[in-house]
Structure 1
């Protein structure tokens, strides 16, 4: 137990609680709109920071670090290639998303396909996002167990409480600003750690970083198809990630949305490189540790100074906590707008009721996420499942709805059903140990979408195109 590490972690937690309490005041968060979309007030730097901290959580600092530790530097960087490619495409979509300015992805489904697809999409999103929330609890529990005498499970309970508190209090305003601070903290900590670990601990042996895993081949023993199976889930998740669309919609203007998306991709590159380098350096310095601990274990006093190690652990913890609270918050938006909101008349709803429904949803989803943790052997395994479940069921339907006029409701429902069944079958039968389920589930989902849409599309039944939908949405906005 390192007193410096504990002190740094406590300081971070105090700051996060203070920020959450500040934005939780009725003056700052007074309605469901404030809770879910921060009153559409986020400036570009905060927007970029919250997008970065939301997408780069324990799946990166633990899951991707595990991967780089096991297979080497090039595979470790390729693991993140889906994130970089997806974020580039998101830059081009940023203005359009802000102009549509919806609360959730299923809301867009309703405009394009109808209510049945909206409800089905909501269920798929909740199944996937509860999984993503779950491994944030696990990852934060790891860190607490490294710093304090608490076990990993007890640490996960503490982390779940903090994550839930941040989501409960100020909603997206609280989450976005804590994300921004956390992103700055972890980027600084990672690069300082690279200096000490690679520059000091490895020293003259630093050149070995590029050769780890290469004795088994350029991809560390993986085939090209297996490598694609690890890179593709992040790509398809990011392209359709409701968190990203929700944050772009929360920007104070379309221009701020575009600038925030650019900051996000630049920040992702700056954060991804040191994670991969540190994980591979850890494989050289600590060849017998648990791979999940590849980066986190470098906080040991024998490898980095106490303050640097404390900042690294606290920064990683910050990243995980803010990612968890973001996914809790976006799930509550689905419950509020796409489930409960469809059962009540608009005139029967009040802003205060929406606020409290959102908060109750956060509590329920947090409990479900905590239960899900016990069904997967590692953070990386749960990460691949959750990313694939979302990417195979939501992303094809979303992109087809935006860019393909002939996509139909029947095609969308078929894609969701096939993608979900294929993912679950591949995971339950254990085949994902050799080839990640995205390689099977995503093509089958797209095929179902295309074939069923072609069969069922027709001039009479075909719903309006993306441009027509945008025009109706703009007209509805102006009428309010």
Structure 2
């Protein structure tokens, strides 16, 4: 099925709107600090919705509904784990990281922060963390490119290779010009569009099948086990699904939102906004996959698209249930999810190369203008690599995301968490944790031992490595301990 003219117009208006925001942000970007962190002046609403939108990606509207459509309600354990993990990330990390990065020479990136927090004069931490970001974000960016390509392929009848380039073009454009300001402002718009689509669509699916009771009957008639939260799941499988929540502590694109907030005092309000948005969005995504089962059981003649690829369930329902104008708005939500996550991932990769490799090792005295333009060129370079990785049409969004999510969660999660909670942590401990976490994920993914999601052993072994490495190292310097104490004091201080 190809897109009608109203859907095409809706898509074009949306894309042009995002690009326009990028050019407005371009005029507001004065230096590299603005390009990478927006000058640390994001309020609670922008911080909350930008963190949510940058987190959820095309996985929210394609991967998760597709997983529930295939496996039933038991796949919602992922959503439960994510909600728990996100909440504790806001509680334990968000405000503290905002303070600690400022106390440690106003660090703009995670490699910056690790270098200054642990007084790493060798710069090994900076290099290693930048390489981890480039490795796993290239995979993560590829997942966004795949999701965008699937959308354009299904909606406009394009072949997959053409859809790859078209789907990525708008995101690359506004990220290239506007940097962090463009990414944050567009994320806020995109988060609003996503929650609208994820609430409206399941309501209309339920109406189309005759109500919740009729939908439950249809799902049970097709396969009663789809109603079982424990369908084909043992303890290891449930723990693996819920362990997605561990990943939040180490996702650079989400942590950057905390670092860019105008104050750590904004975090409490931002947390409430973000968690409300997240619960509604994840609940809607699960509902789309679940009630989509009922819809296509009732109307099997319309199920060709989801039979070919279950990750298209939201796309197919939108086109079948709504007039083309509304369908265009709803399908733009997928593009919003893809663009919001891909843009901030491209920006984090760009900052890792520019701030953490180019500036310290190649051009220590580079001007602000030069750094901004190098950052823009790096956005293009990483985007092209991600497109090449995504060229295989057999790629699945959820599979690519799960690998990158685990990589960051294990390599950075324990390091970030303990760095803001434990003053006795040392450089050697951070280095050991990062190496052990990344290597464990790669090795465990390859061998698939016990059927356990690789983030769990990666996170546990990395935490153990940090503790042992720190205990075996010389204690932190007095200056390190003083900065930590000052950060904690600032975090506890009431708003003035």
TM-score (norm 1): 0.89
Stretch deviating more after TM superposition (326-335 or 366-375): 366-375
Q: Which residue of 1 aligns with 2:52?
A: 52
Using structure 2 for the length normalisation, give the TM-score. 0.87
Instruction: Tell me, in whole angstroms, the C-alpha distance in 1 between the residues paired with 2:363 and 2:148.
Output: 40
Structure 1 match to 2:301: none
Deviations 1:14-61 (A, max 9, x none): 111111122122xx1121111111122222222222111100111222
Q: Look up the match of 1:79.
A: 78
Match of 2:384 in 1: 367
Question: 1:432 deviation in Å?
Answer: 7.6
Contact 1:189 1:308 in 2 (8 A): no
| Displacement after TM superposition at 1:343 (Å) | 1.6
CA 40–410 in structure 1, closer or farther in 2 if over 3 Å, else same:
closer
Distance change (3 Å), C-alpha of 1:117 and 1:208: farther
Distance 1:108 1:321, change over 3 A: same
Contact 1:112 1:464 (C-alpha < 8 Å) held by counterparts: no
Aligned partner (choices 179, 192, 206) of residue 184 of structure 1: 192
Aligned to 2:3: 2
1:136-147 pair list within 5 angstroms: 136-147=144-155
Note the C-alpha offset of 1:178. 0.9
Give the direction of change, closer, same or farther, for the CA distance of 1:437–1:97 in structure 2 (3 Å limit): closer
Structural mapping, 1:19-418, within 5 Å:
19-25=21-27, 28-73=28-73, 75-92=74-91, 93-100=93-100, 101=102, 102-113=107-118, 114=120, 115-203=123-211, 204-208=213-217, 215=225, 217-233=228-244, 235-286=245-296, 288-301=307-320, 303-343=321-361, 348-374=365-391, 377-418=395-436
For residues 433 and 166 of structure 1, what CA distance do their matches in structure 2 show?
43
Contact 1:20 1:169 in 2 (8 A): yes
How has the CA–CA distance of structure 1 residues 139 and 209 changed in structure 2, closer, same or farther, with 3 Å as cutoff?
farther
Q: Give SS of 2:232's match.
A: coil
**CA 1:468–1:399: 2 relative to 1, 3 Å:** same
Instruction: Return the offset for 1:268.
Output: 0.6
- Superposition CA RMSD, Å: 2.6
CA distance in 2, matches of 1:209, 1:357: 56
1:302-360: per-residue Cα shift (whole Å, max 9, x none)? x33333322221111111111100110111122222112222575x1211011111111
- Structure 1 gap segments, 5+ residues each: 476-480
